[in-house]
Structure 1
Amino acid sequence: MFGPKCQSCGMPLSRDPKGGGTGADGTPSAEYCSHCYVGGRFVDEQMTCSEMQDRVLGKMRDMKVPGFLARRFGAGIPQLRRWK
């Protein structure tokens, strides 16, 4: 439906206003969004998976996404590449 998603937060990369994160050499990342990955590093390297889930749920709440959908989306975060 939305194509590839960020392997840190789960956001569809097609929804990233910057088109995705960047590697250390400035090349676009095919795995991570610009909110999570810039210059070859995670924006918040100390963040835990449960903190990411809380952040994503908060953002979805701000976007008025129904709670059951937000929780379902957040439940998939531990399965993403960054958290395995």
Structure 2
Amino acid sequence: MAEKMKIRGEIQMAAYKNCQSCGMPLSKDEHGGGTEADGSKSTKYCSHCYQNGSFTMPGLTVEEMKERVKGKIKEFGFPGFLAGLFTRNIHKLERWNK
């Protein structure tokens, strides 16, 4: 479930720009984000990482995620050094900080 923030006395859901599992910009998710168990859109995770309230690959380690993301970035034609640059902070995302 997304974090709640209190702004001017109102409880609002936190808005994330990037998936908190793989780092992909949520604006680039072709499905508009993952889904919670109740069918609502996740504000924290992309559709590749999270569906129906669960991670799609629950046993994945942070290092395995970095390698998967590097591979995808290279598939899109980016050079290896950029793939490394884009994945260097995956370990700081919420999924991995528990």
Q: What range is the shorter-chain TM-score in?
A: over 0.9
Give the 5 Å matches for 1:2-81: 4-81=17-94
Runs of 4+ in 1 over 3 A off after TM superposition: none
Cα distance per residue 1:28-70 (max 9 Å; x no partner): 0000000000000000000000000000000011111122211
Distance 1:65 1:73 in 2: 10
Higher helix share: 1
Measure the CA separation in 2 of the matches of 1:74 and 1:22.
Answer: 24
* Structure 1 segments unaligned to the other structure (5+ residues): none
Whichever structure has more strand as a proportion of its residues is 2
Deviation of 1:21 (Å): 0.2
Is the partner of 1:51 in helix, strand or coil? helix
- Identity, in percent, stands at 52
TM-score normalised by structure 1 residue count: 0.94
Q: TM-score, normalised by structure 2?
A: 0.81
AA aligned to 1:47 is: L
Root-mean-square deviation (CA), in Å? 0.9
